[in-house]
Amino acid sequence: MSMSRFTLYKKRLKNFFTQFIESKSGVIGLFILLFFVFISVFANYLSDYPIKATQGDLTARFKPPSMKHWLGTDDVGRDLLTLIMYGGRISLLIGFMAAAISGGIGTAVGLLAGYFGGWKEEILMRVTDIILVIPGLPLMIVLAAVLGTSFWNIIFVISIIGWTGTARVVRAQVLSLKERPFIESVKAIGAGDGRIIGLHLLPNVFPLIVAQMVLRIGISILSEASLSFLGLGDPMSVSWGMILHWAFSTGALSSNYWWFIIPPGICITLVALGFTFVGYALDQVVNPRIRRR
């Protein structure tokens, strides 16, 4: 009985989900993420309050939580709950994009280093090592200060630091795949390097990359929050880190305006945790070493 390709993909997807669900933390993480994605995407439907700084209600500054403002207001009278909902957009967006870019760079570096070996590998891996050795946050701070603070610069800064982990993991996997006969067999039929790398190594490394990238999103969000908090974020955009920055710079901390500080902090933590849980659960499912056959 033969199956069409579509039925096969459906079956594979089903197998994947069955295995994924076995990880309780993965499921919890998934729900957390779905929640935050939902409120971010539908922020404008869920809230009527404006977020532009100029539209703040200066008569209602620093108000604690009330029925009117569930999470209180900020230093210019904006509804904090609304800010947090919109803030999710920026944080998640930056997180995704930085993770995607660093995933791309890391994969490319790992594939090329692992496949070619020799001096090419040496150079690539030494560059990786150098970046790994330099402390991440200080380096990001320096770069952000030098390049200027804009939406794209932040993404660039985070990506340029974040690809090294993926590169190492991918290279290790490529090295082990190279030894397996089915990869050598592609060379034996006359295929060139491009085909081997793109059509054979990459699909076999892909699940690992996805797991890595998901973890990386969480880390990127934390990085963005750190940079924004330190004042190096895009001042035009509302991200959770920026909210914390405003909280700090307007003295909310010393005045004990907890609703300004704690909610954004919790959001950052929960989202990072969510991605970590999902990332680890994915790793359990796709990692050929851990996976149960």
Partner 1 sequence: MSHEKPLIKINNLAKWFPVRTGFFQAIRSSERKYVKAVDGVSFHINKGEIFGLAGESGSGKTTTGKVILRLLEPTAGNIHFKDKEITTLGKSEMKEFRRRAQIIYQDPYESLDPRMTIFDFVAEPLIVHKIGDVEKLVTDALERSELTPPQEFFYRYPHELSGGQRQRVAIARAMILNPEFIVADEPVSMLDVSIRSSILELMVKLREELGISYLYITHDLATAKQVCDRIGIMYLGKLIEEAPIDELIDEPLQPYTQALIAAVPDPDPTIEKSKAMIKGEIPNPINLPPGCRFHPRCHYAQDICRKKIPELIEVKKGHRVACHLKT
Applying CB under 8 A, the residues found at the interface with partner 1 are 1-5, 8, 180-182, 184-192, 195, 200, 203-204
Q: How far, in whole angstroms, is CA 172 from its chain's centroid?
A: 22
- The phi, psi pair for 288, rounded to 5°, reads -60, -20
Whose CA is closest to 94, among 155, 47, 41, 142? 155
Shortest spacing between CB 171 and partner 1, in angstroms = 18
Shortest spacing between CB 104 and partner 1, in angstroms = 21
Shortest spacing between CB 189 and partner 1, in angstroms = 4
In this complex, which beta carbon is closest to partner 1, that of residue 8 or of residue 142?
8
Q: Cα-Cα-Cα-Cα dihedral of 251, 256, 260, 262, to 10°?
A: 130
Residue 70 CA to residue 83 CA, distance in Å, equals: 12
Shortest spacing between CB 194 and partner 1, in angstroms = 11
In this complex, which beta carbon is closest to partner 1, that of residue 45 or of residue 182?
182
């790398």: which residue's tokens? Answer: 197
């946050």: which residue's tokens? Answer: 137
Shortest spacing between CB 187 and partner 1, in angstroms = 6
Distances (CA, A) of 80 to 100, 130, 150, 244, 277: 30, 41, 23, 11, 27
Please say whether the beta carbons of 221 and 94 come within 8 A. yes
Shortest spacing between CB 192 and partner 1, in angstroms = 8
In this complex, which beta carbon is closest to partner 1, that of residue 64 or of residue 192?
192
In this complex, which beta carbon is closest to partner 1, that of residue 68 or of residue 291?
291
Shortest spacing between CB 185 and partner 1, in angstroms = 6
In this complex, which beta carbon is closest to partner 1, that of residue 160 or of residue 191?
191
Residue 290 CA to residue 293 CA, distance in Å, equals: 9
- Specify the 3-state DSSP secondary structure of 268: helix
Q: Cα–Cα–Cα angle for 4, 6, 12, nearest 5°? A: 110
In this complex, which beta carbon is closest to partner 1, that of residue 4 or of residue 54?
4
Please say whether the beta carbons of 83 and 241 come within 8 A. no
In this complex, which beta carbon is closest to partner 1, that of residue 61 or of residue 187?
187
